[in-house]
Amino acid sequence: MSTLILPMLFLALFCAAEGQLFGPSPQGSGPCADTNALCPRWALEGECYHNRGYMAVYCPKSCDQCNVFDPICRDHDIQCAAWADKGECTRNKKFMSKTCAKSCSVCLPARGNHYNLQ
């Protein structure tokens, strides 16, 4: 199985075991709020990294994604490509994911938009 399918399979089994469904639940409101009551737990278990697409949409607060929304996947500095080639996407992950999302390949489609992910 691909690395993307395994986290989704894990969440599907976990949600079924917990009696939860994928998608919004009553928790949270507003533009940056978790929409599933299990988001904080999943974030602690590493799902913000392993299941980025789902977590960016349904658990942005728990994954610390509230201030990194950018409707267009782009770099915000002309040196991004050079920095990425030198390994800065890994060494300086927080800065690079916000400033050089395109060069670091951290934009994933979600609800018709792109979210810059850490």
Q: How confident is the model at residue 82 (pLDDT cuts 50, 70, 90)?
A: very high
Task: Please state, in angstroms and rounded to a whole number, the distance separating the CA atoms of residues 56 and 21.
Answer: 17
Task: Please state, in angstroms and rounded to a whole number, the distance separating the CA atoms of residues 97 and 15.
Answer: 29
- Which tens digits make up the pLDDT trace of 86-106? 999 999 988 888 888 888 888
State the average pLDDT over residues 51-70: 77
User: Does pLDDT of 17 surpass 90?
Assistant: no
State the average pLDDT over residues 52-79: 78
What is the CB-side half-sphere exposure of residue 78 using CA atoms within 13 A?
0
Nearest to 118 by CA among 65, 76, 71: 65
What is residue 73's predicted lDDT score, i.e. its pLDDT? 78
Task: Please state, in angstroms and rounded to a whole number, the distance separating the CA atoms of residues 71 and 93.
Answer: 20
In angstroms and rounded to an integer, the radius of gyration of the C-alpha atoms of the chain is 15
User: Does pLDDT of 56 surpass 90?
Assistant: no
User: Does pLDDT of 84 surpass 90?
Assistant: yes
- Which tens digits make up the pLDDT trace of 20-48? 434 433 344 446 789 999 999 999 999 98
What is residue 75's predicted lDDT score, i.e. its pLDDT? 85
E strands, the chain, where? 107-110, 113-116
Least confident of 67-76, 81-90, 97-106: 67-76
Nearest to 62 by CA among 41, 79, 84: 41
